[in-house]
Chain A
Amino acid sequence: METAVLQVFRYDPEKDQTPYYKEYEVPVEGTLLNALLYIKDNLDPTLAFRAFCRSEVCGSCSMRVNGKTKLACKTPMKELVETWKGKPLRIDPLNHLKVIKDLVVDIDKPIEKMKTLIPWLVPDPRVVPTDPMHESIIYPEEMEAYKDQIHCMLCFSCYSACEAVEDNDRYRGPFAFSKAYRFQVDRRDIETAKEKRIRYAISGGLWSCVQCQKCLYVCPKGVKPAEDIQNLRGQAVKKGFTDKPGAKKLKHFVDWIYATGQINRLYLPEEVYGNREAREKLTKAYTEMGVEVWEVPKPTKGLMKFRDIYLEILSKEDKALDLDFSHVRKIDRMVSEIFKADICTIIDRAHEEGRSSRGLISKLKGLLGGK
């Protein structure tokens, strides 16, 4: 029978000064959980790990294989052997959590963190009848909004893989935000609770997520925490929590992309932090290197049509007013100011001029007689 060697993390804080790895030869058959049970039954009963349902519903058995977070009962041994091409398979406990013993970690901390985000329904009496024999009506379409989030089985795989947890101890954890978001889009949940969740989410690191997508990758249940975090950020801004840099960054994206089809990296620091210096410093650095600096991005051909599409989607989603038209007009004016023409003319002329993107500004300036 084909076998593989597992190097398993061992640590009993009562006995061991430091953790060590112990090697076990296991059959390449079934899942990683089978291999661990094989060790426990046949080779070494002292190995500690958690497992219960053995069929990917209970969330007990997450751990790491060569640093990558996996659910043991969902990970075929064959796949591991193929992925790691003969490299030893190093089995570690989940990351970011205190080890109790061997592969068993303390999960109370992430649960406590989750609790701060009100991960339960706070019923709105106008929707949820107080009479226990009355039904609250929920249409099937409404449930689409949280159909993925409700799959979370608290396995903490995402917590282990998360880049924000890694560097921000206050960060609540990917799953916690998904849990919170699930109630944010439930009509039965009362508005005041929704408001609170956003506030707590912000102080719990909502803007610290780096959008690395690792939580999406490791989640065995198809929950998409990174996307829920994006959704929560949108809600935060919508609810008027606009003072955080992240909220200002979002505004920059929404307005500039609408106005020009591009963001403006030169203006980003200024619009997010009020940091004018950054632009000047960057401009200087580039100029010294002999790189031409663009005040505004090149407006995209077909921009006006693009704007129609953009606005149409936003209106359909009831979000047209999120666009700050005075800001957009300011950007338009900036563009016209530089090019001494209105934005439509600029776009047309620029593209008549040929397809090269290089040195557009100088060309335009010459063309339009700019400063």
Chain B
Amino acid sequence: MVELDYDIVIVGGGGAGLYAALWAAENTILKVAVMTKVYPTRSHTGAAEGGINAVLTHSVGDSPEAHAYDTVKGSDFLADQDAVDIMCKMGAAVIYDIAHRGVPFSRRPDGRIAQRPFGGASFPRTCYAADKTGFYILQTLYEQCLKNNVTFLNEWFLLSIIHNGERVEGLTAWDIRNGGVHLIRTKAVILATGGHARVYWNRTSNALGNTGDGTAAALRAGLSLKDMEFIQFHPTGLAKTGILVTEGARGEGGYLRNKDGERFMKRYAPEKMELAPRDIVARAIQTEIDEGRGCGPNGDYICLDLTHLGEEKINERLPQTREHAILYEGVDPVKEPIPIAPTAHYSMGGIDTDRLGRTPIKGLYAAGECACISVHGANRLGGNSLLDVLVYGRLTALEAVKYADEAPETNPSMAKAKDDEKRILELMEADGKEKLADLRRELGNVMMKHFGVFREEKSMKEGLEKLMEIKERARHVKVYDTSKKFNTDLITALEFLNLVDLAPAIAVPAIERKESRGAHARKDYPKRDDKNFLKHSVVKLKEDGNYELSWKPVTITKFPPEERKY
């Protein structure tokens, strides 16, 4: 067992992790390392297409307050307004900073950064770089990290967080490339491991590895997770895989039709039709499917019809959509409508932190999608996540630098590493009565069925039982590959076990939040209930394996709750 020694370890090489690394590297001579299970440029930030919200100096008429208001309103008033305030005020600073570092933002004819309208925003404030905003940001941040000689632990897998109840002391991790559990000593840790929408294994827009590893490790280390019941569903995921079909497809004039060919949006949003906000469209589609008007032999999808746009327009405006539909759905949108259904897209909930990304454990921070600061509350606005990722990547880096500068040396014990080794050995020696791929599919189905777009008490309770059962059965999953080097069988199993740990953390607060708010839509409680539920849910994992739920007040400064109407 090799010991590694750093001052700050950033876990995650996505937008949040790399921006944190950059700001740490430029502001300290401490030893900083980025640990990531995939090479940084492969992180899921690269898949973000739409853009990043910020009020710039030339955004006439717009203001950080307006942005904050839209964000809070979008969050269905569950976001903490002090945090939202920080994020919105820093918007221009992070955009200019990354633009100066080379992000090729699309420009207006006068050479200034272009902005476009986005769902839920009262001004066009979404900065974009063609339709690959996240990709360009990720590549640019990586270039800048190379420039600053940032140390990378590429293809290392976080296993556990070590702390003494007061301060963080270190981490354990598996070196994917060479095999082996390692104990890493460090004064500060920033978790930036991304989201966990893969809990919905069979229908998600997320990468194969968005399995909430950091969130699960935090949960196991006794930390709290906040607002886990809130999962954003994107209305248009390809039916077979959940891979995203961009909002642009509807923006360019695509129609949503049910099995009768009806443009059903007229019954849900007669004015905006297909262009209504995401959650409304997602619910409309789900309702059609649930009420038996879905298409296909199983009636489990809806048709996104682009055929009337014609080949030329589709090729010119939606080339990626066409390519993906052909590749991943086997359907050419020029000739046939694309089968789509809502897909799990973004996790609003995550590791509970304060407005600066700090957890109750000193030296332990969380940023990006794995964190719940909370700036997104019950529903994230499109384009706010990348902003959150950058703002909090940077803030947590500065916090961590400040802390690590003065923090005492730590002395983590080997116990956790030994434990993890044992856990891995046990996996290899399990009886294999359960098959990983099957159980994982089952998990995905349970989540989608019982904790999907619409939720309801009875079904959720059933669902939770099934989840606990799956958790039990997961003990029988076996890792067949016993080799050390690049053991992807092991990694897949560890990821699956993280999902299994996280699923009940979503289910428990979902059952108890007896209201509909943002992405949490309950059939049995269709209204928002500020009197009883204008509060954050907080889940902890008890020693005995039970999930303990508590509640925490929402910080409200400027914007008192009001009805969310568009």
- The yes or no answer to A136 lying at the interface (CB within 8 A) is yes
| A2 in the interface (beta carbon within 8 A) | no
Interface residues in B245-280 by Cβ distance below 8 A to A read none
Nearest CB of chain A from residue B467's CB, rounded to whole Å: 21
Contacts of A107 in B (CB 8 A): 39
A128 B483 Cβ-Cβ under 8 A: no
Residues of A within 8 A of B484 (CB): 14
Interface of A is mostly: loop
Contact of B458 with A by CB under 8 A:
no
Whether A134 and B485, one on each chain, are in contact in the complex, defined by CB atoms closer than 8 angstroms, is no
Q: Closest approach, in angstroms, between the C-beta of B121 and any C-beta of chain A?
A: 20
Interface residues of A in 32-83 (CB under 8 A from B): 40-42, 45-55, 57-60, 73-74, 76
Complex contacts, B244 vs chain A, CB 8 Å: 55
Q: Is the CB of B107 within 8 A of A143?
A: yes
In the complex the two chains form, is A146's CB within 8 Å of B104's CB? Answer: yes
Q: Whole-angstrom distance between the alpha carbons of A57 and B101 in the complex? A: 22
Residue in chain B with minimal CB distance to A107: B39
Interface-lining segment among A116-124, A163-171, A229-237, A275-283: A116-124
Q: Is residue A367 within 8 Å, beta carbon to beta carbon, of the partner chain?
A: no
* Cross-chain contact B139 with A76 (CB below 8 angstroms): no
| Least CB separation from B241: chain A residue | A54
Contact of A139 among B111, B154, B487 (CB under 8 A): B111
B39, B113, B147, B324 pick with most chain A CB within 10 angstroms = B39
Is B486 in contact with chain A by the CB < 8 A criterion?
yes
Q: Residues of B contacting A57 with CB < 8 Å? A: 46-47, 132, 135
- Say whether, besides A53-B47, A135-B113, A59 and B42 are in contact (CB < 8 Å): yes
B398 close to chain A: CB less than 8 A: no
If A42-B437, A137-B111 touch, does A132 touch B47 (CB 8 Å cutoff)? Answer: no
Q: Does the CB pair A136–B99 fall under 8 Å?
A: yes
Residues of A within 8 Å of B559, CB to CB, are none
Q: Are A101 and B485 in contact, CB atoms less than 8 angstroms apart?
A: yes
User: 1/0 per position for A73-113, CB-CB distance to B under 8 A?
Assistant: 11010000000000000000000000011101001100000
The docked-state distance in angstroms from the alpha carbon of A52 to that of B330 is 21
Q: Does B143 reach chain A (CB closer than 8 Å)?
A: yes
Q: Which of A12, A133, A150 contacts B92 (CB 8 A)?
A: A133
B96 contacts the other chain (CB 8 A)? yes
Give the complex CA separation of A153 and B136 in angstroms: 9
Residues of B contacting A154 in the complex (Cβ-Cβ under 8 angstroms): 39, 41
User: Quick check: is A314 within 8 A (CB to CB) of the other chain?
Assistant: no
Q: Does A186 sit within 8 A of B, measured CB to CB?
A: yes
A129 to chain B minimum Cβ distance, whole angstroms, is 7
Of B46, B480, B485, B489, which one neighbours A14 at CB under 8 angstroms? Answer: B485
Task: State which residues 60-107 of B face A: CB under 8 Å.
Answer: 92-93, 96-97, 99-102, 104-107
Number of A-B contacts (CB under 8 A): 156
A53 vs B138: C-alpha distance in the bound complex, in angstroms? 14
Whether B414 is near chain A, meaning CB under 8 Å from some CB there, is no
Taking CB as reference atom, which chain A residue is nearest B329? A30
A133–B41 CB distance below 8 A:
no
Closest to A61 in B: B42
With a CB–CB cut-off of 8 A, which chain A residues contact B492? 40, 45
Q: Is the CB of B481 within 8 A of A45?
A: yes
Determine the distance from Cα of A146 to Cα of B140 in the docked complex, in whole angstroms.
14
Q: In the complex, what's the smallest C-beta–C-beta distance from A100 to chain B, in angstroms?
A: 5
Determine whether A316 belongs to the interface, using a CB cutoff of 8 Å to chain B. Answer: no
Cβ-defined contact, A40 with B488, below 8 A: yes
Q: Judge whether A13 is part of the interface by a CB distance below 8 angstroms.
A: yes
Q: Assess whether B437 is in contact with A41, with CB atoms less than 8 Å apart.
A: yes
Q: Is A22 an interface residue (CB 8 A)?
A: no
Interface centre among A47, A53, A143, A154 (most CB of B within 10 A): A53
Interface check A290, CB cutoff 8 A: no
User: For window 260-284 of chain A, which residues contact chain B by CB distance below 8 Å?
Assistant: none
Which 4 A-B residue pairings sit nearest by Cβ, starting from the closest? A41-B437, A137-B111, A121-B102, A120-B143
7 extra A-B contacts, CB within 8 A, seeds A13-B485, A132-B96: A14-B485, A30-B240, A45-B480, A53-B42, A129-B100, A138-B111, A140-B108
Binding site for A on B (CB under 8 A): 38-39, 41-44, 46-47, 56-58, 92-93, 96-97, 99-102, 104-113, 132, 135-136, 139-140, 143-144, 146-147, 154, 177, 207-209, 240-241, 243-244, 324, 327-328, 330, 436-437, 479-481, 483-489, 492
